């Protein structure tokens, strides 16, 4: 597959994103059954933040995943359910304020119960998105850490965004060396990662080399550094996606990206499996392909939404253009 062109050693080339999208997007096939196009789970949603997990989960469905779950706190569940009946919502997470009178042993029991509830579903998921609207409650983050560890043990891909990056930055061992993990930091989240892992400030004069080093230091975890051009590295190469999107920078676009990357990552893994059997597709890191496709599609959808709504463009407008943007590149067959 000539879809991905790259140079090692810190150099970067623009990814052939449209070719990646065409290659990894599966055709609509009436012989396939529910679930084969992807089952995505979003871990996030608390009292303060209910929009972010919804944006990530509904974006996965709009792109073409068959099922989308949200694991959140009880206080967020009813709100998220009210946004869309398409989502399967699990109110299993707990925040400290809800268990303030519980002793340490009781908290351990609650944590075990949460993990047990998630375990019932784990084997059904093709990818997890950890972080949208998660918040920073200590008990909640502790439980999510255990969920991530269990997912890693089960070889389930993990896309980490938002408050999930806060968690990972402070507990880098959660993803270190896990080649099925993707981190999607914005400028501030990236700065904290660099300071924590490399022990220095961001060097804008060596953007590609620094990103390459950061990924290598975390054990070749794939990092999608969001910016004017999105930069993607798995510690072996650096790719960029510079398709023009929208000058309107409304909140929530990162949540669309995390849900999109999750779906495309799964589809890329399916392509790689087919390549092993048929030898027709070059084997390329599926996490990198997922990032390229997710970045490109978000930018194209944002551009379309801005054409229609201009300054009033919102995240919900961009989500409504995801399907149209994908079909324009990779028409259903």
> Residues forming the annotated binding site for ATP?
226-230, 245-254
Q: Give the integer Cα–Cα distance in Å for 160 and 245.
A: 22
Distances (CA, A) of 279 to 5, 19, 273, 274: 19, 18, 10, 8
Beta bridge partners of 223: 183, 233
Task: Report residue 94 as tokens.
Answer: 């707990």
Which value, in Å, is the radius of gyration of the alpha carbons in the chain? 19
Task: Report residue 119 as tokens.
Answer: 């375990």
Q: Give the integer Cα–Cα distance in Å for 184 and 164.
A: 10
DSSP helix/strand/coil, 93: strand
Q: Give the integer Cα–Cα distance in Å for 259 and 252.
A: 11
Q: Which of 12, 141, 162, 170 is nearest to 73 (CA)?
A: 141
- Long-range pairs of 195-200 with CB within 8 A, sequence gap ≥ 24: 196/169, 196/170, 196/172, 197/172
Task: Report residue 191 as tokens.
Answer: 């700065």
Task: Report residue 93 as tokens.
Answer: 């997470």
Per-residue DSSP letters for 218-249?
Answer: TTS-EEEE-SSSEEEE-SS-EEEE-----S--
**Number of Cβ atoms within 10 Å of the Cβ of 207:** 18
Q: Give the integer Cα–Cα distance in Å for 254 and 186.
A: 8
Please report, in range form, the residues annotated as the binding site for (6S)-NADPHX: 133, 186-192, 255
Please report, in range form, the residues annotated as the binding site: 133, 186-192, 226-230, 245-255
């Amino acid at each position: 597959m000539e879809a991905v062109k790259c140079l090692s050693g810190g150099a970067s080339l623009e990814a052939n994103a449209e070719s990646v999208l065409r290659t990894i997007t599966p055709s609509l096939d009436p012989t396939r059954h529910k679930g084969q196009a992807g089952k995505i789970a979003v871990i996030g949603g608390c009292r303060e933040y209910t929009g972010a997990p919804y944006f990530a989960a509904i974006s996965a469905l709009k792109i073409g995943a068959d099922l989308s779950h949200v694991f959140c706190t009880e206080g967020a569940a009813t709100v998220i359910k009210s946004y869309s009946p398409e989502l399967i919502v699990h109110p299993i997470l707990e925040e400290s304020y809800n268990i303030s009178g519980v002793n340490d042993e009781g908290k351990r029991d609650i944590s075990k119960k949460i993990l047990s509830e998630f375990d019932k579903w784990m084997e059904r998921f093709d990818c997890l998105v950890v972080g949208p609207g998660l918040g920073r409650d200590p008990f909640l983050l502790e439980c999510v850490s255990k969920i991530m560890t269990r997912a890693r043990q089960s070889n389930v891909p993990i896309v980490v965004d938002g408050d999930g990056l806060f968690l990972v930055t402070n507990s880098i061992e959660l993803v270190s060396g896990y080649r099925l993990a993707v981190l999607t930091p914005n400028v501030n989240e990236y700065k904290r990662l660099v300071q924590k892992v490399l022990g220095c400030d961001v060097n804008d004069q060596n953007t590609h080399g620094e990103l390459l080093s950061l990924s290598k230091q975390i054990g070749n975890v794939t990092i999608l550094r969001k910016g004017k051009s999105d930069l993607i590295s798995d510690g072996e190469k650096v790719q960029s996606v510079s398709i023009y999107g929208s000058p309107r920078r409304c909140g929530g676009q990162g949540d669309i990206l995390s849900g999109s990357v999750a779906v495309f990552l799964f589809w890329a893994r399916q392509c790689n499996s087919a390549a092993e059997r048929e030898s027709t597709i070059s084997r390329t890191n599926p996490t990198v392909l997922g990032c390229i496709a997710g970045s490109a599609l978000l930018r194209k959808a944002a551009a379309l939404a801005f054409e229609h709504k201009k300054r009033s463009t919102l995240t919900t407008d961009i989500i409504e253009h995801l399907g149209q943007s994908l079909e324009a590149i990779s028409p259903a067959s």
